[in-house]
Structure 1
């Protein structure tokens, strides 16, 4: 399938935006100065967990963008597989660390709730994406990768929602803005992802030969040998 210039341009711009916002968010933690941390912390252990979560999340965002680049899988399948492995190696620990950090949030359940739900969904989508890839169920793998990266991108859209809500509601309580932005960051992303999956027809059942060519080949060989 030929990729349109519009899709390529959209992917390039969104990839640059994701990379830029992610780099900016992670920049406060490069020096490992706990005083530069944005959320209030319990102490050094909490800070260490947060830093690990942020840096593995950064790797997930940057490698995840590459998985959607047109032609990468077709022209450079080895690079696609390597980047995919790095992506999963980053998402799995980052989602667990995100869940732990959510429970340590000083703002309580209001803050921990959306971050906990996001972390669990992120972990599940990564497990499903990895499982379908290992089983060579590539149609299902593509669907789970779209869902998974929608959750990965919450790190970016959450900040954009925060800026938007803060600008529209300058008198609003800061915690309310933060919590609302966290919920919107992944709920809206998932809705857009599901719309994209359905509109592109990715959930349609493919012929068995297209899903498992190796099995069909072995069956044909067996029939030939019997004949």
Structure 2
């Protein structure tokens, strides 16, 4: 009588299978990142009626663009399972860049939400949503850092996933706003706040489900 070991996928196969995770996250980050590059180019051309709101706050907008872009790109690679397993040292060292970049991006976004002029299609509700989710992102990064310093990997992963979900909110908002604009028109006021808030909420719920499912599978 012979026994056959269960078939397992070789490492190369698993690597090929999970490449879609960072690719999807980078694609989602493409719209806000491209918008940030456009904003920098626009500001470099001088003050106009369209960019006056950002031109008056050059430091926060630049910190937000570069901090958030760095956070989104490095975060996508952090969430690539096979890459993280093959390069654990890279995971740790890039995290030392990712966390400050994310905190800088979150705080500068909150600063702009609180102190810049409210755009034509926004309202106070959307300003408070930006402050709320910005605080969740910054708190998630800080708590994730505290957890890993205690060697609490489970809590670290959950807080980092929550922070990254909020950071990816701009990409999801573009996906939500696109169909809304096509079907209804440009939203403003409370309808825009609802759509934007829904995008953040969906990201957080999805991130929570995915990270908990992944951790449960590893325990099994």
Q: TM-score range by the shorter chain?
A: 0.7 to 0.9
The answer to whether the 8 A contact 2:61-2:112 is kept is yes
Match of 2:18 in 1: 8
**How far does the alpha carbon of each residue in 1:29-83 deviate from its partner, in whole angstroms, 9 at most, with x for none?**
2323365797761x64424312221221111101111101122332212211111
TM-score (norm 2): 0.79
Aligned length: 203
Larger mean CA deviation between 179-188 and 25-34 belongs to 25-34
Q: How does 1:1-227 map to 2 (within 5 A)?
A: 4=14, 8-31=18-41, 32-33=43-44, 35=47, 41=53, 44-104=55-115, 105-106=117-118, 107-170=122-185, 173-202=187-216
Change (3 A) 1:203 1:5: closer
Larger mean CA deviation between 187-196 and 12-21 belongs to 12-21
The answer to whether the 8 A contact 2:28-2:171 is kept is yes
Using the TM superposition, give the Cα deviation of residue 10 of structure 1 relative to its aligned residue in structure 2, in angstroms.
3.0
Distance in 1 between residues matched to 2:77 and 2:49, nearest whole Å: 29
**How far does the alpha carbon of each residue in 1:115-156 deviate from its partner, in whole angstroms, 9 at most, with x for none?**
111110001100111111122211221111211211111121
Higher relative contact order (CA 8 A, sep 6+): 2
Distance in 2 between residues matched to 1:35 and 1:178, nearest whole Å: 27
Unaligned runs of 5+ in 2: 1-7
Distance in 1 between residues matched to 2:26 and 2:215, nearest whole Å: 27
